[in-house]
Chains A and B, each alone.
Chain A
Amino acid sequence: MTKYYMVGAVPVKVVRQEGGQTAILAFNVHLGRFESNSRYYSMIRRDDTGLVRQVTEEEFEFAVEQLRQKAS
């Protein structure tokens, strides 16, 4: 199961894998690809900033595409 978030301006997806592993992948606008970053686990679970927003997969993909275009 995958959940999609915007943390500030950064698209982040939380992927629960078979076997119970959790991977957190954040889009790196400078590299144009997703990178693992477990820092987001607590930030998303317990948002202290008001900057975390759960989004749909479509909203998420749109945000990633916008960032890709901005970077290129």
Chain B
Amino acid sequence: MPQTDPTPPLPEPYAELSRALRRRYPEDPSQLRQRAADAQTAYAEALQLQGRFAEHLMALGAAVKCPAFPRPGGIKSWARLEEKTNLFGFPPLDILAGKIVFTSLADLYASAPLVGDQFVIAGFRDRFLQPRASGYRDMQFIVDLDGHYAEVKLALAAFDELDHYEHRLYEVRRTLETLPQLSKVQTVVLETLDDASTLMFSRVWHSLVTEGQVEE
């Protein structure tokens, strides 16, 4: 992890809201698995449920007055699903996925309790409180649609925007990751690209908090 100014923590009023959500939804998404053990069955389930999922996601967006975006194409591509299933040994939880994008953390936290009005929530993780190792932050809900899990994320516009640029770094990393083994230099390049993306997320968060854009 690159050295930079200490990353400011989530302001306490939000941290308290986050802890309340955790008490309500104690299951961490990493503990959940699709009922279907194979990618093909999980994919077929998702295909059948995608209309209903999108309908509820759009209703949630309307309720919180923020734009809602189902996954482009509605469903994770078969190639990507197969790849992810092989990488982890089981189908992922985000075959069906969507996000609501907020411009302020205050609105995002005020809206979080409303996710349960549209979806049955099976898992919850607040990555503003405990950011991902990459530094990316959002709020993740795993929702249950007739036994099939799908992902709903509450995202902050600044991170969502930065994510598009981070994806360019990811594409360079992917080029190296196709190699059967990595030389010392190649591992240095990979690690530096990883650190660069972590630094970008960290700096964006830092500026949001210190410049008062994360109003309490």
Which residues of A pack against B, CB within 8 Å?
Answer: 7-10, 17, 20-24, 26, 28-29, 36-43, 45-51
Q: Are B88 and A38 in contact (CB under 8 A)?
A: no
Q: Give the residue name and chain of the A residue nearest to B183 (CB).
A: A21
| B134 interface contact, C-beta 8 A | yes
Residues of B contacting A45 in the complex (Cβ-Cβ under 8 angstroms): 191, 194
Q: Per-position contact with A for B120-142: 1 when CB-CB < 8 Å, else 0?
A: 00000100000011101000000
Can you show 23 pairs from A to B with CB atoms below 8 A apart? A7-B87, A7-B89, A8-B87, A8-B89, A10-B87, A10-B89, A20-B183, A21-B182, A22-B184, A23-B182, A24-B181, A29-B89, A36-B181, A38-B181, A41-B187, A46-B133, A47-B133, A48-B132, A48-B133, A49-B88, A50-B30, A50-B125, A51-B88
Category for how many chain B residues contact A: 20 to 34
Residues of B contacting A50 in the complex (Cβ-Cβ under 8 angstroms): 28-30, 125
Partner of A42, one of B29, B125, B194: B194
Q: Give the residue name and chain of the A residue nearest to B133 (CB).
A: A46
Residues of B contacting A39 in the complex (Cβ-Cβ under 8 angstroms): 87, 177
- Chain B's nearest CB lies how many Å from the CB of A21? 5
Q: How far is the CA of A65 from the CA of B144 in the complex (A)?
A: 33
Q: Are B190 and A41 in contact (CB under 8 A)?
A: yes
Residues of B contacting A46 in the complex (Cβ-Cβ under 8 angstroms): 133-134, 194, 198
Q: Contacts A41-B190, A42-B173, A42-B190: A23 and B88 contacting too (C-beta < 8 A)?
A: no
- Which residues of chain B from 92 to 132 have a CB within 8 Å of any chain A CB? 125, 132
Q: How far is the CA of A19 from the CA of B191 in the complex (A)?
A: 18
Residues of A contacting B29 in the complex (Cβ-Cβ under 8 angstroms): 50
Q: How far is the CA of A12 from the CA of B183 in the complex (A)?
A: 18
| B176 interface contact, C-beta 8 A | yes
Q: Give the residue name and chain of the B residue nearest to A27 (CB).
A: B89
Q: How far is the CA of A21 from the CA of B149 in the complex (A)?
A: 39
Residues of B contacting A42 in the complex (Cβ-Cβ under 8 angstroms): 173, 177, 190, 194
- Which residues of chain B from 164 to 197 have a CB within 8 Å of any chain A CB? 173, 176-184, 187, 190-191, 194
| B14 interface contact, C-beta 8 A | no
Q: Give the residue name and chain of the B residue nearest to A7 (CB).
A: B88
Known: A26-B87, A46-B133. 13 other contacts (CB 8 A): A20-B184, A21-B181, A21-B183, A22-B187, A23-B180, A39-B177, A41-B177, A41-B182, A41-B190, A42-B194, A43-B87, A46-B134, A48-B133
Q: How far is the CA of A47 from the CA of B178 in the complex (A)?
A: 19
| B90 interface contact, C-beta 8 A | yes
Q: How far is the CA of A46 from the CA of B177 in the complex (A)?
A: 14
Q: Give the residue name and chain of the B residue nearest to A17 (CB).
A: B181
